[in-house]
């Protein structure tokens, strides 16, 4: 857990699930966390609790589909703490359904959050990291970004895109000493299945998660592993599943 203390970590989707538990986990290890999410009351409560325990946390209301709001999130972190060491592009949706259901609104939301949100995060953080000649950009993909299942066409497409974007970024930012990583979780216990709008699909995924999902701190440990590496080590991809998950 070296190299975490004192780092400024900006986290999108920080009001619950991966974002919340990672903020708490990193704060306990000395990181300064800046929390972005749409649900203001939730991130303010999380930040208040972290600060109460002796950590440092800042909450900034952020919709990742709005490029100006993500820019404000990152700029606020730099203005308050003088730098940004890590951006965790964590906000995401999983509104899976067969294509024949024509859930076009779900498709658009998934693309806006899972792809554009990542790109907007990169656009906000990259100028600061280039100036610093340091930083890490960690983006969240999924096991679905490595394999495709029926009903998951759009979701998998967005998560494949995250991997493509991160790898291209990795190659482009070498002159600036910036590192990139992708984390691809399997079934982990968060409220991500709650973004499924088709009842029968949602029921099936809920049952699958109940039987297979592992706690969300597994994700937080993966993030900490990536961040804790010395500056000459660039962990580019972590894929993990519950031991009993077959897919």
Which residues, in sequence order, are CB contacts of 157 under 8 Å at separation 6+? none
Is pLDDT at 222 greater than 90 in this prediction? yes
Ramachandran region of residue 61, left (φ > 0), alpha (ψ -120 to 50) or beta? Answer: beta
pLDDT in tens, 17-54: 999 999 999 999 999 999 999 999 999 999 999 999 99
Query: What pLDDT shows up at residue 201?
Result: 80
CB atoms within 10 A of CB 23: 30
Q: Examine the residue annotation and report whether 176 is marked as an active-site residue of this protein.
A: no
For 43, the 3-state DSSP assignment is helix
pLDDT band at 15 (very low <50, low <70, confident <90, very high): very high
Give me the mean pLDDT over the 235-240 stretch.
97
pLDDT at 159: 97
Query: How much is the mean pLDDT over the chain?
Result: 94
Catalytic residue among 155, 160, 176, 209, which? 155
**pLDDT higher at 56 or 203:** 56
Q: Lowest mean pLDDT: which of 138-152, 189-203, 215-229?
A: 189-203
CATH of 8-237, one of 3.30.465.10, 3.40.50.720, 3.10.350.10, 1.10.10.10: 3.40.50.720
123 has pLDDT over 70: yes
pLDDT at 195 over 90: no
Question: What is the reported pLDDT for 1?
Answer: 64
| CA dihedral of residues 53, 59, 64, 68 (deg, nearest 10) | -150
Structure tokens at 187: 């079934």
């Amino acid at each position: 857990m070296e190299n975490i203390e004192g780092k400024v970590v900006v986290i999108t989707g920080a009001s619950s699930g991966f974002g919340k538990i990672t903020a708490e986990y990193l704060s306990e290890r000395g990181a300064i966390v800046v929390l972005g999410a749409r649900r203001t009351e939730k991130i303010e409560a999380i930040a208040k609790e972290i600060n109460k325990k002796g950590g440092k946390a800042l909450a900034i209301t952020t919709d990742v589909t709005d490029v100006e709001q993500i820019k404000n999130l990152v700029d606020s972190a730099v203005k308050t703490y003088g730098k940004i060491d890590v951006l965790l592009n964590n906000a995401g949706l999983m509104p899976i359904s067969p294509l024949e259901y024509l859930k076009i609104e779900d498709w658009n939301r998934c693309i806006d959050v899972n792809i554009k949100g990542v790109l907007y995060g990169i656009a906000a953080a990259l100028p600061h990291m280039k100036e610093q000649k340091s930083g890490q950009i960690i983006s969240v993909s999924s096991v679905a970004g490595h394999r495709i299942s029926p009903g998951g066409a759009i979701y998998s497409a967005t998560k494949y895109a995250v991997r493509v974007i991160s790898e291209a970024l990795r190659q482009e930012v070498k002159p600036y000493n910036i590192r990139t990583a992708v984390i691809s979780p399997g079934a982990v216990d968060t409220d991500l299945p709650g973004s499924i709008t088709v009842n029968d699909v949602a029921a099936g995924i809920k049952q699958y998660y109940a039987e297979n999902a592992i706690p969300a701190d597994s994700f937080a440990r993966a993030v900490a592993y990536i961040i804790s590496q010395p500056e000459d080590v660039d962990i580019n991809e972590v894929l993990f599943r519950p031991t009993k998950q077959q897919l």
